[in-house]
């Protein structure tokens, strides 16, 4: 058997999709899994498959934008290049530093972090800490628990949320970012069904890009000065398909809980209102949980629809609650699929890999290989041309901090949101040519 025949044999059984993870650029990647010689997947076949799925009218399309996506926007700060918004680890460090500098909250923050570490979480994130704060708050009522009064717990919660808001309140620096590419792509392709965007990010980068590209969207809120959450409109969902849908699963820095327990969306803060970011998935306050569950329900409804594909980028699969929704949706609808674009290697996305090995319609596309149709294999080493989209999606040269794959092995590039945005722009500008080539494969 020739080398090419071995590659094609290795491709038999290719199926469909799932999502993955972006990690801190400074992290050391674990060693890749060992596989049998000759057993490989073709990243070029995955590229043409993706082009077909993005073709006009082919499928109902959803994008899942995770916390790794803002890392693709690099800006100058303090004489060095840094991400516009840090990843969760960097965000946690910044919030912790701010609390350590607060005379009123430092001691409480130190004790709270120690409690979370004592629960077996070696390096807590702000989400771990917020969940623990809210658990204690649900237990203490009007009293106190382990030296934390209800009032102090509320102050810690508010203090963390305020710091998060300050850190992620950034604007896109140019009009040519991957966010703008995504908005442009949505605006330019007519579809029978609306494009839906799901995100765990609290920032307003998607809103900025959609508005600057004049792409109408619905995010569950109605109004202008102080928009209110309209669940009936979310359920009916009878707006024109040219309106994109934007579902912010973990809340937003412009969502507020009023003193009357009503939810509003506004950039203006009113004294006494609380920022609604990051659900703890506790039922200690049903009114606070309602917006998060309503947004998650849109993910469930999307995955129930026929012939749909969810494309994830920058999502680490660290949220078991969201993973459960994705897994249930894929299990219940064989016509649904998920393609997970992973920034690093498969070893950096273990939860995504585990899910993909159980769900044939979940495909993980990582830098060093993929899980396609539940089969885990590295990418082939044969370089191909003939399609202008190939060099955008597949390459050989990636830095060692991003992949452990050998230099001659092909690498999947679209786990980088910047590359994915370029891919969308190219598919949009050349979609007739690309589709002819994709159909010919």
CA-CA distances (angstroms) from residue 368 to 43, 57, 152? 10, 31, 47
Residue 7, CB half-sphere, CA atoms under 13 Å: how many? 16
Distance CA(13)–CA(357), nearest Å, equals 13
Distance CA(170)–CA(85), nearest Å, equals 7
Distance CA(364)–CA(353), nearest Å, equals 7
Residue 118, CB half-sphere, CA atoms under 13 Å: how many? 7
- The packing angle between helices 178-188 and 205-212, to 10°, is 50
CB atoms within 10 A of CB 317: 25
Q: Taking a C-beta distance cutoff of 8 angstroms, is the pair 340, 362 a contact?
A: yes
Distance CA(320)–CA(211), nearest Å, equals 32
Pull the structure tokens for residue 31.
């060693």
CA-CA distances (angstroms) from residue 167 to 22, 92, 98, 345, 407? 20, 10, 11, 29, 37
pLDDT digits (tens, 9 = 90+) for 99-143: 999 999 999 999 999 999 999 998 999 989 999 998 898 888 888
Confidence of residue 315 (pLDDT cuts 50, 70, 90): very high
On average, the pLDDT of the chain sits at 87
Q: Taking a C-beta distance cutoff of 8 angstroms, is the pair 66, 313 a contact?
A: yes
Q: Could you tell me where the beta strands, DSSP code E, fall in 219-298?
A: 221-222, 227-229, 244-248, 251-257, 263-265, 274-277
Q: Would you list the domain boundaries of the chain?
A: 3-75+172-440, 88-168
pTM: 0.86
Helix (H, G, I), strand (E, B) or coil at 45: helix
pLDDT digits (tens, 9 = 90+) for 368-425: 999 999 999 999 999 998 899 999 999 999 999 999 999 999 999 999 999 999 999 9
Confidence of residue 438 (pLDDT cuts 50, 70, 90): very low
What are the helix and strand counts (H, E) for the chain? 15, 21
Distance CA(219)–CA(205), nearest Å, equals 14
Distance CA(212)–CA(425), nearest Å, equals 16
Q: Which of 180, 246, 62 is nearest to 418 (CA)?
A: 180
Q: Which of 409, 427, 431, 424 is nearest to 65 (CA)?
A: 424
Distance CA(266)–CA(282), nearest Å, equals 25
Q: What is the pLDDT of residue 124?
A: 93
Confidence of residue 346 (pLDDT cuts 50, 70, 90): very high
Q: What is the pLDDT of residue 167?
A: 94
Q: Taking a C-beta distance cutoff of 8 angstroms, is the pair 68, 313 a contact?
A: yes
pLDDT digits (tens, 9 = 90+) for 2-33: 333 333 333 333 433 333 333 343 344 455 54
Residue 63 is inside which H or E element, if any? strand 60-65
Distance CA(277)–CA(250), nearest Å, equals 6
Distance CA(148)–CA(418), nearest Å, equals 44
CB atoms within 10 A of CB 212: 15
Q: What is the pLDDT of residue 11?
A: 39
């Amino acid at each position: 058997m020739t080398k090419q025949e071995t590659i094609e044999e290795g491709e038999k059984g290719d199926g469909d999709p799932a999502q993955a993870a972006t990690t801190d650029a400074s992290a050391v990647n674990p060693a890749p899994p060992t596989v049998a010689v000759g057993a490989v997947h073709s990243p070029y076949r995955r590229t043409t498959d993706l082009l077909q799925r993005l073709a006009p009218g082919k499928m109902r399309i959803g994008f899942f934008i995770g916390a790794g996506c803002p890392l693709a926007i690099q800006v100058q700060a303090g004489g060095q290049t840094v991400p516009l918004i840090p990843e969760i680890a960097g965000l946690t460090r910044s919030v912790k530093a701010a609390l350590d500098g607060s005379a009123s909250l430092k001691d409480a923050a130190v004790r709270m972090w120690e409690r979370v570490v004592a629960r077996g979480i070696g390096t807590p994130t702000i989400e771990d800490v917020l969940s623990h704060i809210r658990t204690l708050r649900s237990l203490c009522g009007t009293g106190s628990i382990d030296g934390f009064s209800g009032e102090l717990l509320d102050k810690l919660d508010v203090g963390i949320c305020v710091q998060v808001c300050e850190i992620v309140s950034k604007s896109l620096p140019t009009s040519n970012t991957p966010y703008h590419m995504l908005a442009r792509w949505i605006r330019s392709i007519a579809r029978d069904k609306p494009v839906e965007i799901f995100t765990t990010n609290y920032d307003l980068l998607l809103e900025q890009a959609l508005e600057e590209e004049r792409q109408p969207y619905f995010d569950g809120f109605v109004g202008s000065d102080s928009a209110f959450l309209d669940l009936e409109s979310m359920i009916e969902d009878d707006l024109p398909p040219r309106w994109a849908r934007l579902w912010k699963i973990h809340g937003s820095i412009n969502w507020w809980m009023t003193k009357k327990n009503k939810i509003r969306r506004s950039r203006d803060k009113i004294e006494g209102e609380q920022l609604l970011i990051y659900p703890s998935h506790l039922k200690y306050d049903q009114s606070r949980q309602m917006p998060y569950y309503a947004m998650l329900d849109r993910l469930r409804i999307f995955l129930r629809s026929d012939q749909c594909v969810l494309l994830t980028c920058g999502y680490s699969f660290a949220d078991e609650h969201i993973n459960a929704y994705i897994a249930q949706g894929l299990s219940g609808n064989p016509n649904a699929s998920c393609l997970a674009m992973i920034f690093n290697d498969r070893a950096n996305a273990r939860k995504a890999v585990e899910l993909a090995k159980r769900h044939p319609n979940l495909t993980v596309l990582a830098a060093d290989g993929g899980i396609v149709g539940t089969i885990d294999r590295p990418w082939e080493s044969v370089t191909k041309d003939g399609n202008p989209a190939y060099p955008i999606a597949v390459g050989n040269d990636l830095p060692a901090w991003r992949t452990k794959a050998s230099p001659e092995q092909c690498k999947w590039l679209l786990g980088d949101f910047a590359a994915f945005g370029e891919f969308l722009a190219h598919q949009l500008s050349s979609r007739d040519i690309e589709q002819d080539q994709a159909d010919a494969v």
